Structure 1
Amino acid sequence: MIVKQSVSSTLARAFLYIVLVSLLSTGLALVTLSSSLSDAQAVNIAGSLRMQSYRMGYDLQANPAMLPEHQKKYTASLNSPVFHALNRWYVPANVRERYAQIHAAWGEMQQQLQAGNQTWYQQNIANYVGNINEFVFALQQYAEKKVMLVAVFAALGFMTILLVIFFTLERIRLHVVSPLESLVVASKKIQEGVFHIPPLHTDLPNELGMLSRSFTAMTNELHKFYRSLEEKVSEKTQDLQQANRMLEVLYNCSQAMNTSSMDPLSFRHILQIIRQHEHVECIEMLVGENWSIREGSEVPDGNWQTIPVTMQDTVFGQLRWQAEPNTPPAQMMQSVSNMLGRGLFFNQAKKHYQQLLLMEERATIARELHDSLAQVLSYLRIQMALLNRSIPQENPMARQIIEDFSKALNDAYRQLRELLSTFRLTLQQADLSAALQEMIEPLRAQTPAQIHLDCRMPTQALDAQQQVHLLQLVREAVLNAIKHANASEISVSCISSPDGGHAVYVRDNGRGIQSLDEPAGHYGLNIMHERAQRLGGKLAISCPVTGGTLVSLSFSTDTGSASGAAAS
């Protein structure tokens, strides 16, 4: 960047102007004074001309012998070199005219003196001397004018120097002091972090103008950097706040999952935490097609954001919510989804483990019954057969008693075998629908009837104990239909309602149940009623008008645990 007019050159020019004005005024004064050096001599010589004029009049009258010599001196005085300098252009015209008049009159006066015309001389000497007086006065005025001219030159030089100094100081104030003050004020504002500074003197052609332009550019760059840093700090602060909020939410969610049992209340608590800490209108977890937990009210025509709920490679369902775009953070929601997936996996695994414990316990009871009671009943059956052979045919009463006893013993043995079959029920699935399918599959081989399964009851609504009771109750109902209904179709339906109520229906198209009173020695219906009571529900057996038999079970779980269940 080129400086057109530097401060140093401006000051140098100002000092040069002052020196030049001083030299000019001093030179003019000196020249004027030098021209005045012979003014006194000219006045003296001009004044002596008056005396010499009167002396030549006296010589003409009383001392004629001295007249030539005095004429010669007068002529020398009148033609003195001092008077020759009066012929220059700068000498006033009246001085030159007076001198020319005297010089011209002297020629006539000299002729009359040489002629000895005393009378004429006496008559004209007064006028001649008067001309000399006027010439002397003109010389005096000319000398005074030169003195005045010296004073004028000195005054003009002084005033000019003062003006140059004033304009120089004013220029320094405008081009140096004021820009420096603006720069100082701007520096203080920038020091305080304020970058909106007053306009600087960027139009100046000197170093301060260049400095102001550079300072303005630097201020703009600093403002950009400062604003960029503020934005970055703000972004980092928001990121840290968001990360802190995410950590807090995830910590609370992990605390909600850190329970002995992962039930629907735990999952609902996690959704409540998300909705409480984030701006979420509605959040819902869907598991399969039959179970959901929702927090908040759905916004009509609102957009849903959805991510899958997974554990490893298993997809349990999906988590969806209604909120502003990119809210809550996708990373946090993915973590929550993974957490819910682990919770569902843990819930399923724990339920499966509890089922296995129950199955193991029942298998142990079955083994004990088989090794004890079943052996005794088998032994009694053998002994009864031997007894029946040893009694003669002629004793009908004894044979009738033995026959009745054998029949009761066979019924007891059959009931024991059914009980053992029930106790030996094994399941490899924790999912209710899969467990029902696994339980029904072996029964299909025992009947030509078509067995249909429609399970819309969420697995999470039941604990392991309830699920086992439900499975055994459905198995007993299906077995009864296979054995007694002579049906071609058997349908099993399990449904749930949003209020936590559940219903199970086992329907066949057979001949229908003849009596609700269970025959002596049979305990299947009683066991089914007991299982219904353990589920906290009610079992009903009826004959629909369309035919067949309908076994219905209605029960409910805790409303808080299953309020999210939905039936199709």
Structure 2
Amino acid sequence: MKIFKHSIIARLGASMFAISLMALISMIGSVIVAESTQGDAAGINLAGSLRMLSFRIVSETQQYQSRPSLGMRAQAEETIKEFGKRINSPVMAEVIPETRDHQLYSQYKNIVLEWEQHLAPSLQLALQKGSDGGDDYIHNIEAFVPRIDKMVQLLERSTESKIKLLSLVQGISLFMTILIIFIAMLDIRNNVVVPLRQLVDMARQVSRGKLTSRSTYQSQDELGVLGRSFNDMAEELSKMYSHLENRVNQKTAQLRQSNESLQLLYETSRQFTRKDDICRRMIPVLKQLESITPVGPIQITLNEPNKKQHYRQISTQSLERPLDCSDQSCENCIVPQMIEAPQQTLALPIQTDETYFGEFNAQFNPANRPNQDQLKLIETVVENLSTALSLELKAQQKEKMSLIEERTVIARELHDSLAQSLSYLKMQVTRLQILREKDKPEEQINEVILELREGLNNAYRQLRELLTTFRLKLDKPGLEPALEATIAEFSDRLGFAIHFNYDIRHQSLSPNEEIHVLQLVREALANIVKHAQASDVAVLLTQKKDIIEVLIEDNGIGIPDNHEVKNHYGVIIMRDRASTLGGTLNLNNQAEGGLQVKVTFKPKQQN
């Protein structure tokens, strides 16, 4: 029985076997009954013929007694003999049961015994005596015929009982077959169709992503095992999907947090590089930092660089406007009431490798501490703030240095040109005063006056050059546009076009170096306009590896061989500028005529 609980195939096989067995039983029963009824019809006919032979014997015997003759006697004896032969026929023996207590067997034996012991002898006696034989045999035959009728009835009943048995066997077989088929169909419906339909529905729901359905079929057979396996699989898939959904949600939250962090870093870079009040730049960033990390309120104390004395405090939560607030319309840091401060504080210094700017303080709840990523984000924001403050400090220092350098340049220009000319004029005035006091000749006095006039002209020219220099601006980025404007200016003054070639890499020179190169070119062109008497001028700027070379060439009269030009103010100024650039100045007469001014130096950016 255990195998039928664990196997649908075994149950279906048993059902098919039972149906086949019922069919086989029905067939065997039919064959047995058919075999048992074989000869019953002949036996019934033969028994029925015995009754007719009984009446025939009586008739022939009576005819013989009334009209004795050998023919009639022979015929009557033949009929008697035929009756004996029929009653002892093998056909009758086959249809008579062998069971002694059977009623048909007793009836048959009584008839045979009655015939052989009484009727046959009485008939033979009647034939022998003839008309004197009497008619007692007639009464015996009349009593014998009902016994034959009863035997015939018993034979018919026996045959009918066999036919009824066949019908009963076939009916029982049919009923059992129908019952087995019904039980098999019910089992198939309950244990195959219903659970299979559930499994198919579950498979469809799983294919649509619904993992909540479960099989309710409980059995030890194949579909029960399949249902439990399907339930286990659905449960595992549900757990797996739930785990994957949790991981996706976690990754989504991490990506969202990373995106917010990147957005905060972008806002940090954008806000901290703005030219605005430090409070207006920092408060939006700090509030955004509070929104994506479990810290707040945040307070920043700014100190003088590398000093302990603080000059400003910035907080994301203030009940009143800070005293140092410069914008009365801003209310980014003002709140209606203070939030109860958590218990712990995160303190980070705002500093770079060179400078300390202050301290960053952020409060947080110990039960909700910032994680490592959030701490790294806070540190990055503080580092960006430190970098922004450091860049601002360096920009201020650079601006101060530029202003100091500009003033130094102005002082040097005044000292090297106009101040020396005025000193020379002062000496000439003193000389003129001495000559007038000593009543020197008029020629000497006029010579001094001419020198004074020339000195004044030189001083006036130098003053104009200085004014031009101080008013000169690099409106466009780079040295090349400024040189092109200078070349155009001096081309107009000379009356012909100056050849110009600029071959220096982009951003090779600093702004200060560009100013000195521009002034060197202007000074050399100014000397050409005044002294060279040239008809062709070229300005060439080239770069060979990390060396800048500036050439100003003309086809004029050149410089005297005695090199008196070395003491000329313009040459002195150009030498000072070349020295400031860390380079050299060379003045050389060209073989074909004219002068070549050559300045070579190495830019500081390349050092």
TM-score between the two structures when normalised by the length of structure 2:
0.53
User: Structure 1 residues 104, 240: CA separation in 2 closer, same or farther (over 3 Å shift)?
Assistant: same
Number of the residue aligned with 1:412: none
Greater shift in the superposed pair: 331-340 or 312-321: 312-321
Residue type matched to 1:319 in 2? N
What CA distance in whole angstroms lies between the structure 2 residues aligned with 1:92 and 1:338? 125
The question of 1:219 aligning with 2:228 is answered: no
Deviation at 1:300, TM superposition (A): 4.1
What CA distance in whole angstroms lies between the structure 2 residues aligned with 1:118 and 1:318? 161
What CA distance in whole angstroms lies between the structure 2 residues aligned with 1:358 and 1:101? 164
Q: Give SS of 1:231's match.
A: helix
Which digits, 9 at most, give the CA deviation of each residue in 1:401-426, with x for residues without a partner? xxxxxxxxxxxxxxxxxxxxxxxxxx
Residue type matched to 1:318 in 2? F
Number of the residue aligned with 1:500: none
Number of the residue aligned with 1:346: 391
Which digits, 9 at most, give the CA deviation of each residue in 1:100-155, with x for residues without a partner? 33233323333433444754322232221111111111211222222233233333
The question of 1:321 aligning with 2:337 is answered: no
Number of the residue aligned with 1:335: 380
User: Structure 1 residues 90, 8: CA separation in 2 closer, same or farther (over 3 Å shift)?
Assistant: farther
8 Å Cα contact 2:342/2:364 also seen in 1: no
Residue type matched to 2:362 in 1? R
The question of 1:58 aligning with 2:74 is answered: no
Q: How does 1:4-83 map to 2 (within 5 A)?
A: 10-63=11-64, 64-83=73-92
8 Å Cα contact 1:112/1:121 also seen in 2: yes
Residue type matched to 1:95 in 2? L
The question of 1:294 aligning with 2:315 is answered: yes
Number of the residue aligned with 2:454: none
Deviation at 1:47, TM superposition (A): 0.7
8 Å Cα contact 2:286/2:298 also seen in 1: yes
Number of the residue aligned with 1:196: 212
Number of the residue aligned with 1:478: none
Aligned match for 2:154, one of 129, 138, 143: 138
Q: Give SS of 2:344's match.
A: coil
8 Å Cα contact 1:306/1:320 also seen in 2: yes
Aligned match for 2:120, one of 85, 94, 110: 110
User: Structure 1 residues 76, 312: CA separation in 2 closer, same or farther (over 3 Å shift)?
Assistant: farther
Which digits, 9 at most, give the CA deviation of each residue in 1:264-312, with x for residues without a partner? 4433343233235556541223456645422133524533344444434
User: Structure 1 residues 100, 312: CA separation in 2 closer, same or farther (over 3 Å shift)?
Assistant: farther
Q: Give SS of 1:304's match.
A: strand
Which digits, 9 at most, give the CA deviation of each residue in 1:215-237, with x for residues without a partner? 33332332233223222221221
Deviation at 1:254, TM superposition (A): 1.8
The question of 1:260 aligning with 2:288 is answered: no
What CA distance in whole angstroms lies between the structure 2 residues aligned with 1:113 and 1:104? 15
User: Structure 1 residues 3, 268: CA separation in 2 closer, same or farther (over 3 Å shift)?
Assistant: farther
8 Å Cα contact 1:36/1:143 also seen in 2: yes
Deviation at 1:43, TM superposition (A): 0.8
Q: Give SS of 1:329's match.
A: helix
Deviation at 1:170, TM superposition (A): 2.3
What CA distance in whole angstroms lies between the structure 2 residues aligned with 1:62 and 1:151? 49
8 Å Cα contact 2:39/2:91 also seen in 1: yes
Number of the residue aligned with 1:497: none
Deviation at 1:247, TM superposition (A): 1.7
8 Å Cα contact 1:109/1:121 also seen in 2: yes
What CA distance in whole angstroms lies between the structure 2 residues aligned with 1:265 and 1:90? 129
User: Structure 1 residues 366, 148: CA separation in 2 closer, same or farther (over 3 Å shift)?
Assistant: same
8 Å Cα contact 2:98/2:105 also seen in 1: no
8 Å Cα contact 2:100/2:106 also seen in 1: no
8 Å Cα contact 2:293/2:370 also seen in 1: no
Deviation at 1:90, TM superposition (A): 8.3
Aligned match for 2:255, one of 217, 240, 244: 240
Residue type matched to 1:320 in 2? A
User: Structure 1 residues 10, 174: CA separation in 2 closer, same or farther (over 3 Å shift)?
Assistant: same
Deviation at 1:257, TM superposition (A): 0.3
User: Structure 1 residues 178, 346: CA separation in 2 closer, same or farther (over 3 Å shift)?
Assistant: same
What CA distance in whole angstroms lies between the structure 2 residues aligned with 1:313 and 1:69? 160
Number of the residue aligned with 1:157: 173
8 Å Cα contact 1:3/1:210 also seen in 2: no
What CA distance in whole angstroms lies between the structure 2 residues aligned with 1:222 and 1:100? 87
What CA distance in whole angstroms lies between the structure 1 residues aligned with 2:346 and 2:77? 143
Residue type matched to 2:215 in 1? P
What CA distance in whole angstroms lies between the structure 2 residues aligned with 1:84 and 1:313? 140
Q: How many residues align?
A: 369
Deviation at 1:41, TM superposition (A): 0.6
What CA distance in whole angstroms lies between the structure 2 residues aligned with 1:91 and 1:170? 50
User: Structure 1 residues 109, 78: CA separation in 2 closer, same or farther (over 3 Å shift)?
Assistant: same
8 Å Cα contact 1:275/1:295 also seen in 2: no
Unaligned 5+ segments in structure 2 are: 65-72, 127-132, 318-337, 414-418, 420-607
Which digits, 9 at most, give the CA deviation of each residue in 1:478-533, with x for residues without a partner? xxxxxxxxxxxxxxxxxxxxxxxxxxxxxxxxxxxxxxxxxxxxxxxxxxxxxxxx
Q: How does 1:415-564 map to 2 (within 5 A)?
A: none
Which digits, 9 at most, give the CA deviation of each residue in 1:417-474, with x for residues without a partner? xxxxxxxxxxxxxxxxxxxxxxxxxxxxxxxxxxxxxxxxxxxxxxxxxxxxxxxxxx
Deviation at 1:10, TM superposition (A): 4.5
User: Structure 1 residues 211, 359: CA separation in 2 closer, same or farther (over 3 Å shift)?
Assistant: same
What CA distance in whole angstroms lies between the structure 2 residues aligned with 1:53 and 1:201? 78
Residue type matched to 1:165 in 2? I
What CA distance in whole angstroms lies between the structure 1 residues aligned with 2:123 and 2:169? 48
Unaligned 5+ segments in structure 1 are: 373-568
8 Å Cα contact 2:348/2:360 also seen in 1: yes
Deviation at 1:29, TM superposition (A): 1.2
User: Structure 1 residues 281, 126: CA separation in 2 closer, same or farther (over 3 Å shift)?
Assistant: farther
Number of the residue aligned with 2:502: none
Q: Give SS of 1:203's match.
A: coil
What CA distance in whole angstroms lies between the structure 1 residues aligned with 2:376 and 2:109? 120
Q: Give SS of 2:316's match.
A: strand
Greater shift in the superposed pair: 111-120 or 139-148: 111-120
The question of 1:311 aligning with 2:358 is answered: no
User: Structure 1 residues 309, 156: CA separation in 2 closer, same or farther (over 3 Å shift)?
Assistant: farther
8 Å Cα contact 1:262/1:346 also seen in 2: no
What CA distance in whole angstroms lies between the structure 1 residues aligned with 2:258 and 2:153? 110
What CA distance in whole angstroms lies between the structure 2 residues aligned with 1:35 and 1:46? 18
What CA distance in whole angstroms lies between the structure 2 residues aligned with 1:313 and 1:75? 153
TM-score between the two structures when normalised by the length of structure 1:
0.56
User: Structure 1 residues 41, 276: CA separation in 2 closer, same or farther (over 3 Å shift)?
Assistant: closer
Q: Give SS of 1:321's match.
A: strand
Deviation at 1:82, TM superposition (A): 2.5
Residue type matched to 2:177 in 1? I
Number of the residue aligned with 2:103: 94
User: Structure 1 residues 285, 76: CA separation in 2 closer, same or farther (over 3 Å shift)?
Assistant: farther
